[in-house]
């Protein structure tokens, strides 16, 4: 299938050059590393890191041999900001929580949310109609996803607090990444100013959610499910904060990246608009969402460790190795996807769809830790795009290129501005 070597060790010299090349070039560096082989060892001092982009290896780590590969140290750091929710918990605690929350996020439970999502997207459209200046799709779409999440989790309107919520989650997320990547965890000895900011952000986020939990509507909401199950206030807050943090920018950024691609390519935008209005409108929307999450998997990768080591065919992973399962790298492999750097929703339509390498497409992960919000996110993406694309012609306000930067989510290398021009009739 592939002429990529099975294993390579990344050159120290190249790594050094990459490390000084700057924060915004992280994706190019990650692709340069992962393009060397299916399994690439990155020679960092004191750590043995392996980057994986082959579907069989990723399947082993996340599914068939998952007991050998627990979540990495990054999740311990994340727990200090998000609490012990589904993303960071393990063992019996995780199993009980996943069982409790699964029905609330199943496909069947998600379908009836369509009118609620539609009415929130409609509010966005109404505001856009009154604008004569360009808008920031990342801010717009994450405000939408925070609002939709507020309704689903807490039964209330959090749109006016969206900026505070986004800022708090972002501050905590950045500090978690900083700590996870630092060679020395200074916070263990000194509470740095960045750590104090993150702790304040964590407290304010919990206060906003707690307030909404107490005062939100009595409609069907996830917080009620947690309370009725006998979870303590602290446990419920950990779970709600986790769901917000895991769901708002992953979905909001995916929406924004899709709007960017449509604005960048007016021909594609017209094709998609005509397709959405046609008889197969739902399939065209589904293909657009799938291509968005192939091209921009907003969780670009996940970390695991290998405490006991593992032997795979011709590759040996040493005990204590850290693994980076790089979804973005796999989705952009030329031996798996035809013309991978082309944003081309049609690859997910008709007969072309049949020849796609299904195991190589995992934007929501795989195995038991697969995203619990995948139906919810897919529905929100389809409803939002299905409402906005027929009503607005999108144009870039500034043609300079913009690159995805990998972090906990996939963010833009600079701020983006688009015009959303209403389509009459
Ligand atoms: C396009 C949007 C989304 C993407 C690309 C995405 C991606 C992912 C991925 C790749 C994982 C697996 C992480 C791992 O194995 O370490 C994951 C887990 C998770 N996601 Fe999502 N997600 C999205 C939206 C959402 C939404 C809307 C929610 C909440 C409603 C959510 C909640 C979670 C939770 C709680 C987990 C942890 C599940 C567990 O370990 O049991 N995600 N997500």
Which amino acid residue places its CA nearest to atom 40 of ligand 1? 369
The whole-model pTM stands at 0.96
For the CA of 243, the closest atom of ligand 1 is 29
Report the pLDDT value the prediction gives residue 218, as an integer from 0 to 100: 66
- Alpha-carbon separation of residue 88 from 11, 242, 372 (angstroms): 33, 9, 13
Token pair of 325 as six digits: 């399962």
Q: Can you name the CATH fold of 74-299+336-422?
A: Cytochrome p450 (1.10.630)
Does the Cβ of 295 fall within 6 Å of ligand 1? no
Digit-by-digit pLDDT tens for the chain (425 residues) are 568 999 999 998 888 887 777 666 789 899 999 999 999 999 887 789 999 999 999 999 999 999 999 998 889 999 999 999 999 999 999 999 999 999 999 999 999 999 999 999 999 999 999 998 999 999 999 999 999 999 999 999 999 999 999 999 999 999 998 888 777 777 777 889 999 999 999 999 999 999 999 887 766 799 999 999 999 999 999 999 999 999 999 999 999 999 999 999 999 999 999 999 999 999 999 999 999 999 999 999 999 999 999 999 889 999 999 999 999 999 999 999 999 999 999 999 999 999 999 899 999 999 999 999 999 999 999 999 999 999 999 999 998 989 999 988 999 999 999 999 999 87
Kindly give the interhelix angle for 114-129 and 137-154, rounded to the nearest 10 degrees: 150
Report the pLDDT value the prediction gives residue 414, as an integer from 0 to 100: 93
Which amino acid residue places its CA nearest to atom 3 of ligand 1? 250
Report DSSP state, residue 62.
Answer: I
**Residue to mutate, 246, 253, 368, 370, ligand 1, most ligand atoms under 8 Å from C-beta:** 246
Residue 23 CB burial class (10 angstroms; 0-12, 13-18, ≥19) = exposed
Token pair of 236 as six digits: 């419920």
Owner of token pair 């992280």: 26
Does the Cβ of 82 fall within 6 Å of ligand 1? no
Token pair of 271 as six digits: 């094709």
Question: Hey, how many other C-beta atoms are within 10 angstroms of the C-beta on 237?
Answer: 21
Summarised one tens digit per residue, pLDDT across range 172-182 is: 999 998 888 77
Report the pLDDT value the prediction gives residue 15, as an integer from 0 to 100: 84
Report the pLDDT value the prediction gives residue 12, as an integer from 0 to 100: 87
């Amino acid at each position: 299938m592939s002429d990529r070597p099975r294993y390579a060790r990344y050159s120290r010299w190249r790594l050094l050059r990459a490390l000084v090349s700057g924060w915004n070039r992280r994706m190019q560096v990650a692709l340069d590393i992962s393009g060397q082989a299916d399994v690439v060892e990155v020679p960092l001092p004191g750590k043995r890191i392996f980057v994986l982009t082959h579907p069989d290896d990723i399947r082993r780590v996340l599914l068939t041999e998952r007991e050998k590969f627990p979540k990495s140290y990054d999740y311990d750091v994340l727990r200090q900001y998000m609490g012990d929710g589904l993303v960071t918990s393990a063992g019996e605690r995780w199993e009980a929580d996943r069982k409790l929350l699964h029905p609330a996020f199943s496909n069947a439970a998600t379908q009836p949310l369509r009118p609620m999502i539609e009415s929130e997207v409609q509010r966005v459209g109404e505001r856009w109609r009154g604008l004569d200046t360009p808008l920031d799709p990342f801010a717009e779409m994450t405000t939408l996803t925070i609002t939709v999440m507020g309704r689903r989790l807490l039964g209330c309107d959090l749109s006016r607090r969206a900026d505070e919520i986004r800022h708090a989650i972002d501050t905590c997320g950045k500090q978690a990444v900083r700590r996870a990547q630092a060679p020395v965890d200074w916070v263990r000895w000194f509470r740095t100013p960045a750590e104090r900011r993150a702790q304040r952000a964590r407290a304010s986020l919990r206060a906003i959610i707690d307030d909404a939990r107490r005062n939100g509507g009595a409609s069907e909401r996830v917080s009620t499910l947690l309370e009725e199950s006998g979870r303590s206030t602290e446990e419920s807050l950990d779970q709600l904060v986790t769901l917000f943090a895991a769901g708002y920018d992953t979905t909001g950024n995916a929406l924004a990246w899709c709007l960017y691609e449509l604005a960048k390519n007016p021909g594609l935008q017209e094709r998609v608009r005509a397709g959405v209005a046609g008889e197969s409108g739902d399939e065209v929307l589904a293909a657009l969402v799938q291509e968005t999450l192939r091209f921009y998997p907003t969780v670009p990768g996940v970390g695991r460790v290998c405490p006991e080591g593992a032997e795979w065919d011709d590759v040996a992973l040493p005990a204590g190795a850290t693994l980076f399962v790089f979804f973005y790298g796999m989705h952009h492999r030329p031996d798996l996807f035809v013309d991978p750097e082309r944003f081309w929703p049609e690859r997910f339509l008709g007969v072309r769809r049949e020849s796609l390498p299904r195991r190589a497409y995992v934007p929501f992960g795989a195995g038991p830790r697969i995203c619990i919000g995948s139906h919810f996110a897919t529905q929100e993406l389809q409803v939002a795009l299905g409402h906005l694309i027929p009503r607005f012609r999108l144009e870039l306000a500034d043609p300079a290129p913009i690159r995805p930067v990998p972090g906990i989510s996939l963010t833009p290398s600079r701020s983006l501005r688009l015009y959303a021009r209403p389509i009459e009739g």
